[in-house]
Structure 1
Amino acid sequence: MPALAQDKMTAAFSTVGFAYLPPLVAKAMNIYATEKLDVDIVITGGETKALAALIGGGADVYFGSAPTVIRARENGVQVLMVGYCVSQYATNLVLSSKWVKDHGLTANSTVEEKLKALKGATLGITAPGSGTDLIMRFFANKAGLNPDRDLILSNLGGGDVITSAFAQGRIDGFALSAPAAENAVKRDGAVMILDLAKGEVKELDGFLYTSISFREDTLNRNPQLAVRLLRTQQKALDMIRDPAKTNEARDAVWKMYWPKIDKALFDEMWVNWKDAWPKTVEIPASSLKQMVDFTNLLESKKIDPAVADKSYTNKYAKEAVASVAAGK
């Protein structure tokens, strides 16, 4: 078999967080090199910006929310989800200690009581229609609130801007993936209200949250590029889930991406997120349906299930998973 050429790739993310942990592990553990890939990770500061980078040719692969990809396809953009990255709605909801105290919340408060206390809160989101926007609307719906009337959703862009706004007291809370929420608890006196990574909200267990997408012209021109990239993600998932290797992956990714975060806190987050990772990069049809139903519950513009079904394929993931399992 001829040696594969070293291929340079650019991967677009909206932010550095646990919602993108498998590709970060692949970088920190030098897994990309095993497939002769030189992957440059670009942080765009927003989902739409990350997808725009893929569409415009500034990136070769996009790691981001599934609804964003489906909406693009509804508008005729030829992008396709080819893999699964995170299998929980991987955000954690935090509120300021003042808001929690003023609204009488305690450790014994029920999920319903916590969510009802969001009424009137100013909450940071990255962008309308983003995962951070939809989860706030879901929380409101679950509490019998109207998100447009009872919440103030502040469109702030990237996660760093949101956490900065929270630290400055400009917003009362936010929902972001680790380590943003946990870091706000330790650094800014935030209170963790819901930890979705642990599966606290059963309706969102197994959710298609972060997907892996390519342009269709890239897939048609070089299908093995997608397979090789997916092989790296499968290897990363296996490493995260492997008791013998997970601590090594944890320490490497902490050192590369989050060295300023308290190591004990980071280790705790790693354990808390143990159920957030799928076993394989293949996208289950049930998870796609769950995501579509969730989105359609919250948005006036409904996703057509037929469009959603055409927005993904497991063709490349199946080949990648099989070859990794065979040790090839």
Structure 2
Amino acid sequence: MKTRLFRMGLAVLSLAAGFTLAGVVGPAMAQQNVTLALPAQSLLFAPAYIAAERGYFREAGIEPKIVYVAGPGVLTAVLGKSADFAMISGGIQIAAAVRNQKLVAIANTQDRFTTDIVVRKPVADKLGAVPPGDALARIRALKGLTIGIDAVNGLPHSFLRYLARKAGMNPETDFTITALQPQAMVAAMKSGTIEAMAFSPPFSLTAVNDGGALWITGPDVDLPEMKTFPYNVVLVRPDYCQAEAAACRGFTTAIGKAVALMRSDPAASLAALGKTFDRMEPEALRQSFAIFAKYTRTDLGLTEDMYRNAVAFDRAGGVIPETAAVPPASELYAPSLGR
């Protein structure tokens, strides 16, 4: 009888130990599946890639599936509920809100433009000596060229149109625009199918390494709307965080950890990015990472100044009409929902 009771006791202890070990070894909480829509594979979204690779999302109780939807299509994906989160420029968010496609920003990972314009070297040589620091003079010199972008009305297209209008040009007629995926843009530059491209590192730097000339670099453009800009916001549907508060908190917590790692440990960050950018030349990846890391927002901040600059950028670039009614910042920015 004692032997039987002893064996029963061992079985109960073993079962209890199994539960305890499962709690230690297994996930700390049930994982909620969510979908993140990105407009392209770009180092601009390094915080998301790092958070996924380092397990920060899993630690926060969520398991994101990353999907790619060209340019502003990510907004449609979130509005149509085929995605829960999107990351894209705050200027595109505001332009969509003017069209009654309202999404709410709960975080911002970067506050400066890092879009570049690269020109084929033979074309750059023909353009002659244009002052390197004069972005408007350099954009005027591109009149008549065929320029590659990733998507019509996406951020690189908006950047190009903004500069053109500031320079007194008509961006709809003074350039020929071709929409291509980033890798295809670099190949088209190399072959001469297009004469210039507007995109961000590492693809802009890859184009330079393949014989292009860095013509305009976003961080150096000294125009008022380009400073303190919501360059990469995390967007959700207006009612999503009320229904899925844990998912919103988990997402921003994981992104915040990734941004902190980008600032404190570049080597670990680059190692985490290696899987996503495994075909990228390591030195180009390192140089590109340094550019993005420099302008990250460790507080994931969204401010009134960012909102005003994004609205001014959209109006100046013709993305939204000068007289368009824009929802107030209080309707479009809600960082508290991500905490």
Evaluate the alpha carbon distance shift between residue 111 and residue 282 of structure 1 in structure 2; reply closer, same or farther with a 3 A threshold.
closer
Indicate which of 147, 169, 184 corresponds to 1:145.
Answer: 169
Indicate which of 112, 115, 118 corresponds to 1:94.
Answer: 118
Using structure 1 for the length normalisation, give the TM-score. 0.86
SS at match of 1:167: helix
Residue 287 (structure 1) shift:
0.9
- The C-alpha deviation readout for 1:58-104, integer Å capped at 9, x for no partner, is 11111112233334333444521111022112211100111101111
Specify the alignment match of 2:149 in structure 1. 125
2:272 pairs with 1:252: yes
Please state which structure has a larger fraction of its residues in strand.
Answer: 1
Specify the alignment match of 1:282 in structure 2. 301
- Residue 97 of structure 2 aligns with an amino acid whose one-letter code is R
Contact 1:132 1:176 in 2 (8 A): yes
Q: What is the percentage of aligned positions where both structures have the same residue?
A: 19
Contact 1:95 1:174 in 2 (8 A): yes
- Residue 201 of structure 1 aligns with an amino acid whose one-letter code is D
Structure 1: where are the runs of 5+ without partners?
Answer: 320-328
Contact 2:241 2:337 in 1 (8 A): no
Specify the alignment match of 1:167 in structure 2. 190
Specify the alignment match of 2:237 in structure 1. 215
Evaluate the alpha carbon distance shift between residue 73 and residue 106 of structure 1 in structure 2; reply closer, same or farther with a 3 A threshold.
closer
Contact 1:20 1:63 in 2 (8 A): yes
Using structure 2 for the length normalisation, give the TM-score. 0.83
- Residue 49 of structure 1 aligns with an amino acid whose one-letter code is G
> Aligned residues, how many?
310
- The C-alpha deviation readout for 1:254-279, integer Å capped at 9, x for no partner, is x1111222212222222233322112
Q: For the residues of structure 1 that align with 2:239 and 2:205, how far apart are their CA atoms? A: 40
SS at match of 1:118: coil
Specify the alignment match of 2:336 in structure 1. 315
- Deviates further, 103-112 or 231-240: 103-112
Q: For the residues of structure 2 that align with 1:297 and 1:33, how far apart are their CA atoms? A: 41
Give the structure with higher Rg (CA): 2
SS at match of 2:285: helix
Pairs within 5 Å for 1:18-37:
18-37=43-62
2:210 pairs with 1:191: no
Specify the alignment match of 1:43 in structure 2. 68
- Residue 172 of structure 1 aligns with an amino acid whose one-letter code is E
Evaluate the alpha carbon distance shift between residue 127 and residue 259 of structure 1 in structure 2; reply closer, same or farther with a 3 A threshold.
closer
Contact 2:118 2:215 in 1 (8 A): yes
- The C-alpha deviation readout for 1:135-193, integer Å capped at 9, x for no partner, is 11122233332222322223x1533343343233221111111111011111x311111
Q: For the residues of structure 2 that align with 1:281 and 1:217, how far apart are their CA atoms? A: 21
Indicate which of 198, 201, 204 corresponds to 2:222.
Answer: 201
Contact 2:94 2:326 in 1 (8 A): no
Residue 201 (structure 1) shift:
3.2
Structure 2: where are the runs of 5+ without partners?
Answer: 1-27
Evaluate the alpha carbon distance shift between residue 111 and residue 76 of structure 1 in structure 2; reply closer, same or farther with a 3 A threshold.
closer
